[in-house]
Structure 1
Amino acid sequence: MEYMITEFASRLSDFATSSPFFPTVMCKALPISTTVLLFLLIFWVYKLGANSIYLVDFVCFSPTSRYRCPFSTFLEHSFLMGIFNEKSLQFQQFILERSGLGETTNLPIGLSYLPPRWTMPFACEEAEMVVFSAVEKLLAHSGIAARDISILVVNCSLFTPVPSLSAMIINKFKLRSDVKSFNLSGMGCSAGVISLSLAQNLLRVHGNSYALIVSTENITQNWYCGNRRSMMIPNCLFRIGSAAILLSNKRQDAARSKYKLQHIVRTLTGADDKSFKCVYQEQDEEGNCGVSLSRDLTKVAGEALKVNITNLGPLVLPLSEQIAYVFAEIRRRIQANPKSKAYIPDFKKAFNHFCIHAGGRAVIDELEKSLKLQPDHVEASRMTLHKFANTSSSSIWYELAYLEAKGRIKPGHKVWQIAFGSGFKCNSAVWQALPSITTACKKGAHNNPWVEYLTQYPIHLPDVAN
């Protein structure tokens, strides 16, 4: 852009000085005016890109077949543990068959033993495996040295070792001593977008910097060993996974980056007691610790989504949809009918792709219905749930990787990542694909967790698996 402006100014000046239509005094003044114009234009271009944040690349953890846990193995281990009664075993089978999970999801090695080894060493082994491999691949492919990282943000809700996971990464990859390091815990499956928000704010302050984000969850020490149904559901849904994301605010990275960050909108409805307790870590009657999922979860998620899209809509929707929404709201209030439904804008006019948190089949079904999406809009979410299960905050990145692997994201396309989490939170991140997206995806195809399964997906998912 700067080169184009300079060239334009140079040609304008040459034309003015050689043209017989320009008075001599203007010929003398014009180079000065074009210089001022050039300065102002360059300043405007730099100012325009000053707050631009680019997603250079991201890598998701790709588990090997060693960690595969089909339904039969899961149910057999649950039985052989001697912890669950008959009704609990039947309930777990019931949940698995209706969960949307496939037979190739993965559990940490500590849970493959009998009795399970949910000790600190095995939990650390899981964390190092899923985190280090993703970060290592990301740095190697991006060509960024670990010492070039200025900001590190790690989120993991339920595993908080001392030293922290962020400190483990700093030690492993020898990040520099002045790195701005943050370790977020207890913030649920939407914490990945919260990490993005934190990194965004830091990059706006610290120029010419790289930010590394790591989103993960730890299963080993968070396995529920009791018979309360609401606390057994996470056992059935959650599996290992992580994602490492590299952000940059350097202008020179715009040419090679995949996406540009457009918006982040965060919603927290924790002031409401029902929302606050719908995903809640507690002990059961026998003192077993676990995370309880309320029956109101889907309803609470829907309410949080309404608040979130109310704030997001004006930022992304075309004017026609915003006007339609205003008139629909006026009509609804004039009619004063409490049973009339609120107008839901057509977000398909704002986004090309949707990455809905793969929290479970019910959540995906509800959003597909509420946002009036087509099956292909939620395909990435359903396939991620089937292949990798609920990997917590990293699920939206497995979904984005799926869309990239299928070659569906084109320059200029907009992607909406929607994440839900305890608290209760609904967070949105909006990305715009840059011109280099196609080339970047081809170069990084070997790091895509879907590369071995492209011919297998998408698959048809029955209402209830037999």
Structure 2
Amino acid sequence: MTSVNVKLLYHYVLTNFFNLSLFPLTVLIAGKASQLTENDILLFFTHLQDNLITVIVLITFTIFGLVLYIVTRPKSVYLVDYSCYLPPPHLKVSVSSIMDVFYQLRKADPLRNVACDDPSWFDFLRKIQERSGLGDETYISPGLIQVPPQKTFAAVREETEMVIIGALENLFENTKVNPREIGILVVNSSVFNPTPSLCAMIVNTFKLRSNIKSVNMGGMGCSAGVIAIDLAKDLLHVHKNTYALVVSTENTTINAYAGENRSMMMGNCLFRVGGAAILLSNKPGDRRRSKYKLVHTVRTNTGADDNSFRCVQQQEDEMGKLGVSLSKDLINVAGTAVKKNISTLGPLILPLSEKFLFFVNFIAKKLLKDKIKHNYVPDFKLAIDHFCIHAGGRGVLDVLEKNLRLSTIDVEASRSTLHRFGNTSSSSIWYELAYIEAKGRMKKGNRAWQIALGSGFKCNSAVWVALRNVKASANSPWEHCIDRYPVSELTKSDTCVQNGRS
């Protein structure tokens, strides 16, 4: 018997240990019961009659405990449907055409010093862009595609409103939910938070009711999508029989960078236009029409460490130009945050067999110390069917694929999303889930794990279970291109990002 078969047998026996033990126990009880005489049964009922009050008290307390559990347990949170925004075709840019956008952006910069201009910046951006993992069909904002590019407040607002309103219109059309039925609204946009807020803009546009519980989240980075889901879940546990609307987006116009700092140029190469709107419900009647049920959310914040806190920062460069700086430590910081997150999530979702191996490894490291150098990495594929890892960049995906021991197909949705739509920040995990649905892979009972990474530094997870065989919703962003994915170039190793940042 091979080692693989031995491990499979081990997992089966330990995972089904209770069921396997129950069978001989049932046979034993049945054998004993068959030996009971009529006098034994009569004696048992006589004993019950003599202790009738005790029996009634026990039954009463049991029923009271069950009722109390049913009443106080948190209501299930269902994902009715969601919508990922697909920008219009005229905003589509290829790898080569985006370079012209960078050039025009630099040319239009009023602070540009032509005499001190270093021409090597263009070659640097071109190399990064060509090896970033992004394809020829990503989207940029209406302001940046103009000549010269527009970074006015009006252009910034136009991008965000275009994405949010477009995603919500499609969501309401698909779900047939009246906007006035929404009781909770959570919006996350990290860098663009105008006054009135984006929540207020949505309330005004769709005429939501006046007593809606609305929250506007800013500065939470690319992991804010899961944070918004977690917050909406908590609110749904308090406010009964209602809908929660979550909107996740980011603005690319406001942070388009035209300066000399190469760590701040990286954002131009990775971030693209996108957003998602998600409809959650705690109504028991919505279970039948919902796609998923929320199982777990786990949030990890490593901001107490200085390197983690500073690895992604919005700031001004030496010339006063605003942008987002990406540290060369980003990949290592992300790896550390993921390890801490899965150490909390693992015990919640892993089967007993994996928990036991992890525990044995932990004890062995404590006892043997330096003799065991590596921690045991649990096989998450025993508990998770689909992985939606934030499409932050090819380097991050390579590290997580290796550290979590995932296969090529496990990260296919993430790599395909990065290639087709780029890094759309907090909404990327929803484009990835939509990819899995469009491929017809999401079956009833399957579990999907969304892993989001973001500034601060944060790693957040959400685990969903499919309530049925899930098909892609109408107007899915993958509707017209799913047959072209995955593409062969997605497997190329990423070295440019690390070399460019060093």
Q: Quick check: TM above 0.5?
A: yes
Q: Is 181-190 or 281-290 further displaced after alignment?
A: 281-290
- Map of 1:114 onto structure 2: 147
Equivalent residue for 1:78, pick from 92, 97, 102 = 102
Indicate if the aligned counterparts of 2:246 and 2:279 stay in contact, CA closer than 8 A: yes
Map of 1:251-290 to 2, 5 A cutoff? 251-290=284-323
Q: CA deviation at 1:36?
A: 8.7
Q: CA deviation at 1:283?
A: 1.2
Indicate if the aligned counterparts of 2:79 and 2:293 stay in contact, CA closer than 8 A: yes
- Map of 1:157 onto structure 2: 190
Q: CA deviation at 1:330?
A: 1.6
Alpha-carbon distance between aligned partners in 1 of 2:288 and 2:455, rounded to the nearest angstrom: 37
* Residue 340 of structure 2 corresponds to residue 307 of structure 1: yes
Q: CA deviation at 1:341?
A: 1.6
- Map of 2:181 onto structure 1: 148
Map of 1:35-54 to 2, 5 A cutoff? 43=67, 46-47=70-71, 50-54=74-78
* Residue 93 of structure 2 corresponds to residue 69 of structure 1: yes
* Residue 172 of structure 2 corresponds to residue 139 of structure 1: yes
Structure 1 residue matching 2:328: 3-state secondary structure: coil
Map of 1:203-222 to 2, 5 A cutoff? 203-222=236-255
Structure 1 residue matching 2:80: 3-state secondary structure: strand
Indicate if the aligned counterparts of 2:365 and 2:372 stay in contact, CA closer than 8 A: no
- Map of 2:349 onto structure 1: 316
* Residue 476 of structure 2 corresponds to residue 452 of structure 1: no
Q: Is 263-272 or 108-117 further displaced after alignment?
A: 108-117
Structure 2: runs of 5 or more not aligned: 1-44, 497-502
* Residue 444 of structure 2 corresponds to residue 420 of structure 1: no
Alpha-carbon distance between aligned partners in 2 of 1:281 and 1:170, rounded to the nearest angstrom: 29
Q: Is 179-188 or 280-289 further displaced after alignment?
A: 280-289
Q: CA deviation at 1:40?
A: 7.2
Indicate if the aligned counterparts of 2:249 and 2:274 stay in contact, CA closer than 8 A: yes
State the one-letter code of the partner of 2:479.
Answer: V
Provide closer, same or farther for how the CA distance between residues 338 and 189 of structure 1 changes in structure 2, counting only shifts above 3 A. farther
State the one-letter code of the partner of 1:313.
Answer: G
Q: CA deviation at 1:353?
A: 0.3
Alpha-carbon distance between aligned partners in 2 of 1:431 and 1:237, rounded to the nearest angstrom: 27
Alpha-carbon distance between aligned partners in 2 of 1:316 and 1:280, rounded to the nearest angstrom: 33
Structure 1 residue matching 2:300: 3-state secondary structure: strand
Q: CA deviation at 1:142?
A: 0.8
Structure showing greater Rg: 2
Q: CA deviation at 1:66?
A: 0.7
- Map of 1:388 onto structure 2: 421
- Map of 2:159 onto structure 1: 126
Equivalent residue for 2:120, pick from 87, 90, 95 = 87
Provide closer, same or farther for how the CA distance between residues 338 and 418 of structure 1 changes in structure 2, counting only shifts above 3 A. farther
Indicate if the aligned counterparts of 2:95 and 2:134 stay in contact, CA closer than 8 A: no
Q: Is 455-464 or 314-323 further displaced after alignment?
A: 455-464
Structure 2 residue matching 1:59: 3-state secondary structure: strand
Indicate if the aligned counterparts of 2:393 and 2:418 stay in contact, CA closer than 8 A: yes
Structure 2 residue matching 1:428: 3-state secondary structure: strand
Provide closer, same or farther for how the CA distance between residues 311 and 464 of structure 1 changes in structure 2, counting only shifts above 3 A. closer
Q: CA deviation at 1:333?
A: 2.4
- TM value normalised by structure 1: 0.88
Q: Is 381-390 or 129-138 further displaced after alignment?
A: 129-138
Alpha-carbon distance between aligned partners in 2 of 1:44 and 1:334, rounded to the nearest angstrom: 44
Show CA shifts across 1:241-264 (max 9, x none): 000000000000011100000000
Percent of paired sites with the same residue: 52
Equivalent residue for 2:492, pick from 451, 463, 466 = 463
Equivalent residue for 1:190, pick from 208, 214, 223 = 223
Name the count of aligned residue pairs: 433
Structure 1: runs of 5 or more not aligned: 1-22
State the one-letter code of the partner of 2:234.
Answer: N
* Residue 378 of structure 2 corresponds to residue 365 of structure 1: no
Alpha-carbon distance between aligned partners in 1 of 2:348 and 2:449, rounded to the nearest angstrom: 12
Alpha-carbon distance between aligned partners in 2 of 1:56 and 1:185, rounded to the nearest angstrom: 25
Structure 1 residue matching 2:158: 3-state secondary structure: helix
Show CA shifts across 1:282-334 (max 9, x none): 11111111110000000000111111011101100001101100111121222
